[in-house]
Amino acid sequence: MPDGMLREFFLGFVRIHILHSAAQDPLFGLALIEDLHRRGHELSAGTLYPILHGLESAGYLAHENRLVEGKVRRYYTTTENGERALCEARRCVQELVEELLDVRGATRQATDNRLR
């Protein structure tokens, strides 16, 4: 699979991760970059900030400026549209992961084996 395709998959999950994180607590870009780094993922500011701005332009995030240690930081939270999108994304991801990992099939097979 070309690296470009893997990157597109990754960035799709990053968008969902941003919505998930922003639904829990307000977040700012650098903290998100550091969080992803701790999880073993590298994401540059040049990639992240356009994603944040795009999610905000699409109505999924809203920001609030806060003064922190003499610097203005943009803290993002989900909007109602962002909450709905996150709910739908969770449902879709769960369905696709179950299919990909054949969770239902494995459960059915284990049940069938016990019944024999």
What predicted TM-score, i.e. pTM, was given to this entire model? 0.80
Q: Which tens digits make up the pLDDT trace of 19-76?
A: 999 999 999 999 999 999 998 888 999 999 999 999 999 999 999 999 999 999 999 9
Taken as a whole, the chain contains a residue count of 116
Neighbouring CB atoms inside 10 A of 90's CB total 13
CATH code for position 107? 1.10.10.10
The 3-state secondary structure of the chain, one letter per residue: CCHHHHHHHHHHHHHHHHHHHHHHCCECHHHHHHHHHHCCCCCCHHHHHHHHHHHHHCCCEEEEEEEECCEEEEEEEECHHHHHHHHHHHHHHHHHHHHHHCHHHHHHHHHHHHHC
Structural domain for 61, as ranges:
3-115
